[in-house]
Amino acid sequence: MHELGLVTHIVRTIEDISIEVQLTNVSSVTLELGEVSGVIPDYLTDCWKYFRVKSELLKEADLKIFMIPAVTICEDCNRTYSTLKYKKICPHCGSGTTYLKTGTEFNIKEIEAC
């Protein structure tokens, strides 16, 4: 259900762009998806296939997903590490003063269209 809502927003955004730059047919849409964005790629693809046919512009467009790893940075030692592997505590110095640098992205990177 979550992914379906997101798909409607992707479609709306691309439809707006298509009016702006006069596109009539989109063959692919590439997304950047962070590892901890909370979006499940498989579900998103399924919802995409269900929903794209409702749009004249996107009915044949493939969805490509480019994953972005989740990286946390430590404020104390200034080093970075994998968020999924080590979570909140810095594996280099043991500090808990860490924050997420990348991994929550949910962007439309590019579209292929004419």
Question: Interface with another protein includes 113 (CB under 8 A)?
Answer: yes
DSSP 38: S
Question: Interface with another protein includes 89 (CB under 8 A)?
Answer: no
Q: How far apart are CA 61 and CA 95, in angstroms?
A: 46
Q: How far apart are CA 64 and CA 26, in angstroms?
A: 13
Please check if 47 is assigned to a binding site.
no
Count residues contacting another protein (CB under 8 A)?
30
DSSP 37: S
Question: Interface with another protein includes 78 (CB under 8 A)?
Answer: no
Question: Interface with another protein includes 110 (CB under 8 A)?
Answer: yes
Residue ranges for the known binding site for Ni(2+) are 2
